[in-house]
Amino acid sequence: MSNNTQSKKESSLIAENGPWAAVGEHPNAITNRFYTYERVQEIVAFIQNIVPAKPEVAIICGSGLGGLAELVVDKVVIPYADIPNFPRSTVAGHRSNLVFGILNGISIVCMQGRFHPYEGYTTAACAFPVRVMQMLGAHTLIVTCAAGGVNKSYRVGDIMLIKDHINFPSMAGNNPLIGHNDERFGKKISFCLRPRFPPVGHAYDRQYASQMKQIAAKHNIELREGVYCALGGPCYETIAEINLLRVLGIDAVGMSIVHEVTLGAHCGLRMLGLALITNKCLSEYDSTIEAVHEDVIRISELKANELQQLILDFVGGVKTNKT
Ligand SMILES: O=P(O)(O)O[C@@H]1C[C@H](O)[C@@H](CO)O1
């Protein structure tokens, strides 16, 4: 057998027999092989059996920010451990519950705890719950996170409205949409049908952003507005890295959100992002202070009330928009 014939035979075996065969992916692809449309549908059906009500707004709580779920009434709590094939949050400050109920008069679903790539999950596995929540009925996604303040004028405890992001993992080839583009995910986007190349230039909804600014002004809460960037973690940044991020015009740094917003954009969700600045990022070599996760959680819990007030009012406004 010639080398050519041999290798053709091998590739057809790969194509016919691997779990990727149905979607025509190569076994070496860094791709979402596990959370297929069918598996997501199974999870959605499991949840709908417990909670028939459709959530309109989905909320993902960042480190130490899961207390928002305490404000939900007529609550149904589903531990991630009870949901087939759902990952678990392994990080302090992240509980592992999906919380359904009513927040300021609107039906919501809240992830009390998210997944991060540094926990060992692919970006696709970290973000697939966004698809679950969209398929359950959500049209709006609010993402919250703890972040380090890169912008020198930011103070610990500031809240930053996310205007835009830089997705470093994606720039390095680690985007949750890598692999087969299953067109059944998501809803039609007018100019581009369940796109292979989704636009993300307006991922953070401008109307939502301006509503949030008005809400903050009403409560006398100073709201920063800036660019968030995600790095892979779990290390906090070196001083040289922080200096690089500053040169790039980044205001806050974290380890989450961007993969969630990417899948949210793909399935046509309207999105709002809020980052709580839990620590200042250092850029001097003679400084002795380092970021510590315990401080991140402490500051998040300390400032959670303000963030919750903003989200509560915002959700009320989403309801008003609908009527
Ligand atoms: O889930 P978020 O982005 O709020 O968590 C941040 C990033 C790391 O997981 C952790 C570092 O302290 O907090």
Neighbours of 299 (CB within 10 A): 19
Residue 26 has which token pair?
A: 């190569």
Q: What is the pLDDT of residues 181-195, one digit of tens each?
A: 888 886 665 555 568
Q: Which CA distances in Å does 247 have to 150, 153, 234?
A: 10, 15, 22
Average pLDDT over residues 19-46: 74
Q: Is 97 one of the annotated binding-site residues?
A: no
Could you tell me whether strands 159-167 and 223-230 are parallel, antiparallel, or unpaired per DSSP bridges? Answer: parallel
Q: Which of 111, 236, 256 to mutate to test the pocket of ligand 1 (most atoms within 8 A of CB)?
A: 256
Q: What is the pLDDT of residues 118-162, one digit of tens each?
A: 999 999 999 999 999 999 999 999 999 999 999 999 999 999 999
Q: Is 63 one of the annotated binding-site residues?
A: yes
Q: Which residues pair with 58 in a beta bridge?
A: 109, 141
Average pLDDT over residues 50-55: 95
Between CA 279 and CA 151 the distance in angstroms is: 11
What pLDDT was estimated at residue 15?
A: 47
What pLDDT was estimated at residue 34?
A: 84
Catalytic residue list: 63, 94, 116, 118-119, 146, 255-256, 279, 293
pLDDT of 45 strictly over 50: yes
Q: Give residue 233 CA to ligand 1 midpoint distance, Å.
A: 9
**Domain 3-322 has what CATH class?**
alpha beta
Between CA 276 and CA 233 the distance in angstroms is: 18
Domain residues of the chain, as ranges?
Answer: 3-322
pLDDT of 31 strictly over 70: no
Q: Give residue 146 CA to ligand 1 midpoint distance, Å.
A: 5
User: What ipTM is given for this predicted complex?
Assistant: 0.99
At residue 277 the predicted structure's pLDDT band, cuts being 50, 70 and 90, is very high
Residue 120 has which token pair?
A: 């060992």
Token pair 């709002």 is found at 272
Provide the terminal-to-terminal Cα distance of the chain, rounded to the nearest Å. Answer: 70
Residue 291 has which token pair?
A: 């970021």
What pLDDT was estimated at residue 323?
A: 45
What pLDDT was estimated at residue 7?
A: 57
Per cent of the chain over pLDDT 90 is 76
**CB neighbours of 4 closer than 8 A, spacing ≥ 6?**
none
Average pLDDT over residues 57-75: 95
What pLDDT was estimated at residue 73?
A: 97
pLDDT of 109 strictly over 90: yes
Per cent of the chain over pLDDT 70 is 86
At residue 210 the predicted structure's pLDDT band, cuts being 50, 70 and 90, is very high
What pLDDT was estimated at residue 283?
A: 84
Q: Which one-letter amino acid corresponds to residue 49?
A: N
What pLDDT was estimated at residue 184?
A: 85
Q: Which of 162, 255, 261 to mutate to test the pocket of ligand 1 (most atoms within 8 A of CB)?
A: 255
Q: Give residue 62 CA to ligand 1 midpoint distance, Å.
A: 7
What pLDDT was estimated at residue 9?
A: 57
Q: Give residue 192 CA to ligand 1 midpoint distance, Å.
A: 33
Token pair 């007529």 is found at 74
Q: Which CA distances in Å does 262 have to 15, 27, 69, 100?
A: 28, 24, 24, 23
Residues with CB under 6 A from ligand 1: 62-63, 91, 114, 116, 145-146, 233, 254-256, 293, 296
pLDDT of 13 strictly over 60: no
